[in-house]
Structure formats: C-alpha cells, structure tokens
Structure 1
Amino acid sequence: MAKTIVPTDPDIRFKEFIERSDALEGAKITAAIPREYLQPSVARGFAGLAISLAVYIGAIVAIAVVDRWYLVPPLLVVAGLGGWGLHCIAHECGHGSFSRNRRLNFVVGQIALLHLLYPFHTWRHVHNLHHAHTNSLELDTDWAPIPEEMYRRMPLKDRLIYMSVRTWAVWGGSIHHWLDSGLRPSYFPKKEMRRDARRSIAVVAAFAAVYLPVLTYVTGWQGLLLYFVGPWFATHVWFSITTLMHHSAEDIPYLSADHWTKNASRLLVTIDFMYPKWLLFLTHNISVHTAHHVSPAVPFYHLPKAQAALMQAYPDMMRVERVTISKFWNILRHCRFYDPVSGLYSTQPMRRVASIEMESV
C-alpha cells in the first residue's frame, strides 16, 4: 500500500485522534509501568500452561466419555477456550515474558502451539511485526483494511478471502494468517527468520506425522474430527474474534506513514474489553491489551496492575469497554474498508458489498 494514502477530508474523530497522538509526542509511556511488573515467574507461567492444558484435554476427554451428541458443541467451545489459553501462553513465550531463559521460552512456546500445528517461530516473527507496526496501513500484519478501490482491483479469489474473513467467515481470519505466513519460510525477508521458520515447521511436521496417523488409527476418522479438527477449529474461532476486536472500531484509524507514530500505536489504537473474571483467568488476561502493547515484556499475571498504572498516568488516552455481541456485530457490519477521505473505516451496507461481488463474477 502506498504511503501517499492520507485522508483528503478527515473525519472529526480522525482529527481528535491525531491531536491525542500529537500530545504523546516524546512521552516515555513505558516509564509509567513499574519495573517490578516486568519480572516473570516461571512457576506462575507453568501454572497458566497447566490450567489451559487441563481445560483443553479435559473437554476432549469429556467428549469421548460422555458420548452425547448434544454436548459436543459446547464441549468443543470449551476445548477451543483451552486451546486459546495455550496460545496465550505461547504468546507470552514469544515476547519473552514467560521466562528470562530464551531457550525455555522457545521450547514451551512451540509445545503450546502444537495443537494448532502452528510453527512457533513463524508466528513469533509475524506477531512481532504487528507489535512494531500496530495499526499501520502499510505494515501491520493483523486485520489491516484496504481502500475499496484497491479491493475492486484484486483477483476474485483474494476479494472473496478478504471479504469472507471480515463477515461470515470471521472465524477463518487466523486460519488464513496461518496458511499465508505460518508455513512459508519465504514470507520472511531475513535469513535468520527463514532459518527459524524452517526449524519450527520441521517440529510441527514431525509431530503431525506421528500424532495424526496414530489418533486416526486408534479412534477412526470420527476421532480425528472430534478430538483434533474440532478443537483446532474452535481455537481459531477464539483466536480470530479476539484479535479482530482488539484493534477494530469505526473511530479507531489505521494510519499511513504520514500519521503513524510509535506512541499512538501503543496506547491509542487498542480496545481493552472487560471480560468476566473467569474468562480473564482462562485467557490469561489477553483482553488487558493496551498494557501489553505498551510493554510486551509484562507477564500476563501482572497486566491488570500495569494497566492500572497506565490509566493513572494517561487517564484520557485508554479505551476500556464492556464486551458485547452488538459491538462484535458492529465490527462485522462496518469495519471493512479503509476510507481515504475520512481516514477511518468506510461503512458499506451488506447489499452494496454483495452487488460488488456479483458484478465481478
């Protein structure tokens, strides 16, 4: 995407965002988080891993033991929650907040992602790009929108993928991300990154080559679907919806290089959703997300305290909302294209998007 894409007639909300961004110029926002909140506890990290593993395996065992078809869907949701929790632990490892031991982080991170067949280092490198360029139109790797005119010029396959993962197939956003970068070392520009990627892919391939045939042999194709594919899919549902909601709202812009700043990308573009306490516990505070973007080294169990410190230092800069289905639905309806006029999202009715697709076939 060209760096010349800047709003021609900025929306008042875009202007207000830029004013707040300018107010943060030169501020050392990481200094607001006390250093003791950056100290990891390996024991607490492993406790989090054990909890998510217990939820994931427990739900799968329950599916096998209870053997009631009507309990399978809710148990798969629970398995997906456990799987998402495992990913959140891998997320800690990727940022070095699980342990100060780099090798331990890499080993635990890869183990925690095996249930998704996700190579740890490919995910780690792409995710670090997201942190380095959060809500950058040109460089963010997560959910960055494009202008509608650019969308119309895309090949039909790419348009179908782009629109699907932002509407009816939102659950497939992280699956597409995995297919696009997770299994392709050539995605990465640096030799060291490609080497890391090949190593992680080899680990995942070896695991899949042993585990999946054995699981199929012992439990049949139904067992493969129920005990692996179903939880894998359910985890991606949690994965996709959570990441989409963190940085998507009608009044939160993705910014071209002309307006993007590091401090704004850390403090102003993230929505922190108030989950129920039990869900915060099982997802390792992943929704306490602004503090994480300000300082990814903060372990998950210190995030609430780090968040409180940030809110005290920057009371008018952070956005905390109660999570609701209506807010998620609003994102699906309105947060699709970048509007080069307003600088925000271009709200497109369902009928308009459908007509664009019909004209292209």
Structure 2
Amino acid sequence: MSKSQAKYSEDELPEFSPMKWSLKEIRDAIPPGMFVRNTSLGLLYLLRDIVLAATAWSIAMRIDPFFGRDEMKTLLTPLGAGCLRWAAWAVYWWFQGLIFTGIWVIGHECGHSAFSDYKIVNDCIGFVVHSWLWTPFFSWRISHHRHHSNHASMERDEVYVPKTRKDLGIPDSPQHETDWDELFGDTPLYTLFALIRQQVLAFPAYLLYNVSGQKNYPKWTNHFDPNSILFTKDQRNAVILSNIGIAAMVWGVSHASAVYGAAQVIKYYGIPWLCVTHWFIMITYLHHTDPILPHYRGKEWNFQRGAAATVDRNFLGWQGRFFLHDVAHFHVIHHFFPKMPFYHGPEATKYLKSFIGQHYHYSDAPVFSTLWKNYNECQFVEDEGNVLFYRNKKGKAVLRPADEYKIKVENKEL
C-alpha cells in the first residue's frame, strides 16, 4: 500500500508536550542588555525610513515625464514606453510598500513601548505614523496588547482564533462518515480568490468587524466604537483620539485628491498603503498559523506557552530584514518580551533558541508557497481537548498532544 493510501491514525503522529519553564527562567537566559531601549537609535531608524520614502517618492515623480518624452516613444515605440512606465511604477509600489510597512513597524514598536523609555515619545510617534497608515493607534494598541497577553488561548486571544469543528458544522461521530470534499472541495481558483481577499481586506475587516477575532463578542464589535466590548470606560478617550487621527487622514486624502487628482493619490500613496495591509496580514498570519503550532484551552495555557506558539520566518530575505526591521525574522522573541527593541531581536533569539530548544520554531521555506500551503492546511481545531493542532481539509493533523494531554475519546482513524 502506498503512503498516500495508508490509513491515517492519530496514534502514529509525533507527540507534542507543552514546555515546562516559567517566564522568569526564560528571561534569565537572556542577557539584560537585550532589554535596553535606545530612543536615539529608534529615531535614527525612523529617520532612515522617512528618507527612503521621500527618495522613492521623488524618483516616482520622474517616471511619467521620463517615459512620456517623445524621444522615449520613438526609441521604444509608444507601446514599449508604456510597458516600461508601468513596470517602473510596479517597482516603486513594491519598494514603497515595504518602506511604508517598515514605518508601520516603528508604530508597532511604539505601541509596545519598545521604541523608547519615554511614554510621550511612544505615544506621539505611534499615533502619527499609524494614523498616517490608517491604523487607529490607541484602539489597536489596546486589543493588540490583549492579543500578546493571551496568544494561543482559544478563550481569550484577540486575533487568528481558529475555527472549531462545531463552528464549521463538521460532524464528529463514528457513525457518520464525513464527506471532506463536500465540506472543503473549493476549486483552486476560488481558494486563490479567498486568499487574495484575505490579504487585501483582512486588516480593515478586523478593525471594522472583528473578523478572525473572538466569536463570542457581540455583533458589530469594532475598533472605532468607544463603547465597544474591546475597551474599558477608562480607555474611551484614547479610542476617540484614535478616531480623530483617522478623521484627519480622511480629510487629508480628500483634500489631496481634490488638489492633485484621485489617480495621483492612488499611485503615490494608495497602492503602497494597500501593500502595507498585504504585508502586515501575510506576516502576522504566517507567524501565528501553521500545522505545527499549538493552541490551548483552560489550565494548559500560560503566557510563555502562548509566546512559543509562533514561528520565525525568512521573510523576503535581505529585503525583509532591512525594510521590515526584522519583524518577521525574529517574531518569537517579540512574543516572549514585547518591550524588547527590534534591533536586539537577532542576538536575543540566539539565547532564546539555545534555552527552549525544540520549542523554538523557525522556517526558511518560501513564504508565498507557505502562505498557500497553510491557508489550505489550517482549517479547524477540535471542540474538545486543551492542547490543539490545526487539521487540514481531510481532517488530518501533523502532531498530536502527548498521552497526558489527549482528548479522552476514541482514536480517530481516516
């Protein structure tokens, strides 16, 4: 019998046991210098990003005049000049999108107070750069903090909470043979459409409609309502201030469109911003979604186990490291210690990896093919059990909890 025809058995999967160390033990393995924040260095990184963005913008202003010259049309033909013009714009959108994402990452650092020892510096810079990129800074910071505080908890995490068998209406009965093709038999073309939709719309949908968040929140839960369940009464003014920042952007973009034309605003700013939402969602999705990453219920969850349920990825190679401030390459250490500045991530990760060993996850697989693979492989988790792993479109997992953590039901065979 071929491997593809062999019967699937849960008992034959590799076992997983949650790590036992306390957060203090893990922190003690990291040199104290890794936790030091340098405001001047952070400001230099921000200045670098602003200079890069301004330089890219300045170069882009020359694209249309250059390829619109009669000499270029004569040399390349009008069609050739037009094709090269749009190719130049594509290069601008790619790099400006990465630069903008790096600026967003600086705001993210401010949200964690990792940018500076001074609260006023973190608040002011985070508010400005995130508002400029259509993120309600203080509102997002509140929910993002809860995500870090509860990551991989099925009951309390704020984002990328897996759907369960019950959520998808998948029967779990030995007497009922599941028709997996009927449940998940989407065509590759539709799956591609759904994935692209996720990449473009998921972050705005999360802010506006709590998409991928806790399903027990009331309908219309969002980041713009000061009375939302996401916030306490004491946080109301912070939410209103975030909304003022977004309202200022609405006015600014509307005014720029009236003065320069909507097409110009879209070309120089709009498409790079769409790239930010794509990169941000792709990075965070791949950090938190993988068949090898556990989720927990009840007493089996703790902060350090949730922090370890993430994966570092070689995201776009040198471009990801330079433009994105290592946010994808060294994310696991960030979940353990969110206030650690990003520029200490590479060195601190060496100590973390040495201490937690097999509980540290890293992948250098190509990220776009991994995005497709994980989008198809990570479908749901079980309704029972306190240590859970994603199952694919055939109901199969790649790991199982060790015997002491197993679901107390019959072994599933497919």
TM-score by length of 2: 0.73
Alignment of 1:176-255 (within 5 A): 176-180=205-209, 181-187=222-228, 188-209=230-251, 211-255=252-296
How far has the Cα of 1:323 moved from its partner? 4.0
Q: Distance in 1 between matches of 2:310 and 2:46?
A: 25
Alignment partner of 2:159: what SS? Answer: coil
1:34 aligns to what? Answer: 31
Decide which of 340, 344, 351 is 1:302's aligned counterpart.
344
**Structure 1 unaligned blocks of 5 or more:** 1-8, 154-162, 350-361
Residues 266, 293 of structure 1: 8 Å contact kept: yes
For residue 340 of structure 1, what is the amino acid of its counterpart?
A: D
Distance change >3 Å, CA 165–CA 37, structure 1 → 2: farther
How far has the Cα of 1:264 moved from its partner? 0.7
* Seq. identity, %: 23
Residues 166, 332 of structure 1: 8 Å contact kept: no
1:357 aligns to what? Answer: none
Q: Could you say which structure has the higher helix fraction?
A: 1
Distance change >3 Å, CA 283–CA 11, structure 1 → 2: farther
Q: Could you list the structure 1 runs, at least 4 aligned residues long, displaced by more than 4 angstroms after superposition.
A: 9-15, 163-166
2:77 aligns to what? Answer: none
Alignment partner of 1:150: what SS? Answer: coil
Alignment of 1:42-81 (within 5 A): 42-67=39-64, 68-81=85-98
1:107 aligns to what? Answer: 124
Counterpart check, 1:311 vs 2:353:
yes
Counterpart check, 1:174 vs 2:203:
yes
Distance change >3 Å, CA 323–CA 93, structure 1 → 2: farther
For residue 389 of structure 2, what is the amino acid of its counterpart?
A: L
1:283 aligns to what? Answer: 324
1:356 aligns to what? Answer: none
Q: Distance in 2 between matches of 1:248 and 1:109?
A: 27
Q: Distance in 1 between matches of 2:14 and 2:244?
A: 45
Q: Is the radius of gyration larger for structure 1 or structure 2?
A: 2
TM-score by length of 1: 0.83
Alignment partner of 2:362: what SS? Answer: strand
Residues 40, 299 of structure 1: 8 Å contact kept: yes
How far has the Cα of 1:14 moved from its partner? 8.2
- RCO (CA 8 Å, sep 6+): is it higher in 1 or 2? 1
How far has the Cα of 1:345 moved from its partner? 1.5
Q: Distance in 2 between matches of 1:323 and 1:50?
A: 32
Deviations 1:327-351 (A, max 9, x none): 22111111132233683212127xx
Residues 227, 233 of structure 2: 8 Å contact kept: no
**Structure 2 unaligned blocks of 5 or more:** 1-8, 65-84, 171-190, 210-221, 395-414
Counterpart check, 1:340 vs 2:383:
yes
Q: Distance in 1 between matches of 2:193 and 2:282?
A: 10
How far has the Cα of 1:26 moved from its partner? 7.1
Q: Distance in 1 between matches of 2:43 and 2:13?
A: 43
2:115 aligns to what? Answer: 98
Counterpart check, 1:270 vs 2:313:
no
Counterpart check, 1:327 vs 2:356:
no
For residue 262 of structure 2, what is the amino acid of its counterpart?
A: W
For residue 391 of structure 2, what is the amino acid of its counterpart?
A: S
Further displaced range: 24-33 or 105-114: 24-33
